[in-house]
Amino acid sequence: MTTTAATLADLDAARLLKGLRHTVGNTPLLAVHYTFDGDPRTLFVKSEQLNMTGSIKDRMALHILETAYREGTIRPGDTIAEATSGNTGISFSAIGRALGHPVRIFMPDWMSRERVDLIRSLGAEVVPVSAEQGGFLGSIRMSEEYAAGNEHVFLPRQFANEGNVRAHELTTGPEIWWQLRFQFRTPDAFVAGVGTGGTVMGVGRFLRRVAPAVKVYPLEPAESPTLRTGSKVGRHRIQGISDEFIPHILDLSALDAVVDASDGDAVLMAQQLAGRLGLGVGISSGANFIGAVKVQQELGRDAVVVTVFPDDNKKYLSTALLQDEPVQEHFLTPRIRLTGYEAFKRVCHTCCDLEDCTQKLPHGA
Ligand SMILES: Cc1ncc(COP(=O)(O)O)c(C=O)c1O
């Protein structure tokens, strides 16, 4: 490509990226009201299922691609290759194709049918990786082998890329802070299930800067306590979290205690969120809600506890989410009754950079 053509292509990418920014983030914060053993309480939840492709991963994909364009580590026409258990693949496919890139996704072959079809429908190629080929770790290895020595392949490396944490430090964290400040509240705790750890690390880093006493809890499936044991143990059904290893970008020493949620409890909670409140969210959203209920139990019924709904329910229609789930004695969902929610979307309108606003009072509040 000649210099002039490259410059024109860069300008095109800058214009496209600017437009895409309006489709990602700035999601509503929900005040979800519920009773626990009959006692009324409220949790705050960021509605990440309302992002462009229906998941929180759009924030990370957009930020990493914007940074790569700014730093010149991706060129127009380069192939984007990534190992992912689903949502990241969907985000890079949609945003990558919008920017004109071929996209190749390496994915364990046991992920839900909907995830594979969604990625293919977005014009990307899916490379299924079997358990014999190494499953999730095999997907990462194969994506790295594919990129090795090929300067026309861009590898986002979500598990190791600091840009993943920065995406949430720059957007999700400040949005949560300001949406709470407009309600004259400050957070006491943030809880999030760990896939790459980008959400919990990035939001935690921002909130700790503006509210140093805030507690930040990573969450994992009770059936597969990888964070607590340091290695892959057991099996679970909460797709998107707990992927066989502790990700590079996760620093457990910077976080509070690991919280867990049983996968069956998470399924029942997600079913209740959809069935009672019309919030069509995925299984990890149910797990995050259970985790937030546990943290509020510990900190006190009036504690301002925040979590996220990472994705919507459309990728799980063929999974346990739509099946009868047996209740076990230790589950919390039977003690929880969802009673309603309010949604807030107000963020700072007087500055262009939310991060700069952190020391100011809510404008016009
Ligand atoms: C459904 C779902 N929930 C939770 C997460 C965890 O988010 P993070 O990777 O930021 O830790 C993911 C990540 O892919 C996900 O797909």
pLDDT of 5 reads 54
Whether pLDDT at 223 is above 80: yes
Ligand 1 centroid to Cα of residue 195, in Å, is 5
Q: In angstroms, what is the span from residue 346 Cα to ligand 1's centroid? A: 25
The predicted pLDDT at position 6 comes to 56
The pLDDT-based confidence of 161 (bands split at 50, 70, 90) is very high
- Residue 114's pLDDT band, with cuts at 50, 70 and 90, is confident
Q: Label residue 157 exposed, middle or buried (CB < 10 Å: 0-12, 13-18, 19+).
A: buried
* Active-site position among 284, 285, 294, 315: 284
User: Catalytic annotation on 345?
Assistant: no
Kindly state the tokens that stand for 91.
């985000």
Which residue has the least CA distance to atom 12 on ligand 1?
240
What is the model's pLDDT at position 14?
86
How far apart are alpha carbons 48 and 7 in whole angstroms? 34
| Tokens of residue 129, six digits | 């990786």
Q: What is the mean pLDDT of the chain?
A: 91
Whether 57 is catalytic: yes
Residue nearest ligand 1's atom 3 by CA: 240
Q: What are 74-84's pLDDT values in tens digits?
A: 999 999 999 98
Question: How much of the chain exceeds pLDDT 90, in percent?
Answer: 81
Spell out which residues line ligand 1, taking CB within 6 angstroms. Answer: 55, 57, 86-88, 193-199, 240-241, 282, 284, 310-311
Strands in 259-261's sheet, in edge-to-edge order, are 259-261, 215-221, 189-193, 305-309, 39-47, 29-36, 336-344
> What's the confidence (pLDDT) of residue 110?
85
Q: 11: exposed, middle or buried (C-beta count within 10 Å: 0-12, 13-18, 19+)? A: exposed
Q: Which of 57, 215, 294, 315 is catalytic?
A: 57
Report the residue among 59, 107, 196, 243 best suited for mutation to probe ligand 1: largest number of ligand atoms under 8 A from its CB: 196
Ligand 1 centre from 246 Cα, in Å? 13
- Cα 86 to ligand 1 centroid, rounded to whole Å: 9
Supply the pLDDT for residue 9: 67
Residue nearest to atom 16 of ligand 1 (CA): 240
Closest approach atom of ligand 1 to CA 239: 1
Residue 70 has pLDDT above 90, yes or no: yes
Q: What is the dihedral of CA 331, 227, 84, 236, to 10 degrees?
A: -30
Residue 365: per-residue pLDDT = 36
Residue 361 banded pLDDT, cuts 50, 70, 90: very low
Helices (H) and strands (E) in the chain, counts: 11, 11
CA distance 160 to 250: 9
Query: Which atom of ligand 1 lies at the shortest distance from residue 164's CA?
Result: 10
Q: How confident is the model at residue 348 (pLDDT cuts 50, 70, 90)?
A: low
pLDDT band at 245 (very low <50, low <70, confident <90, very high): confident
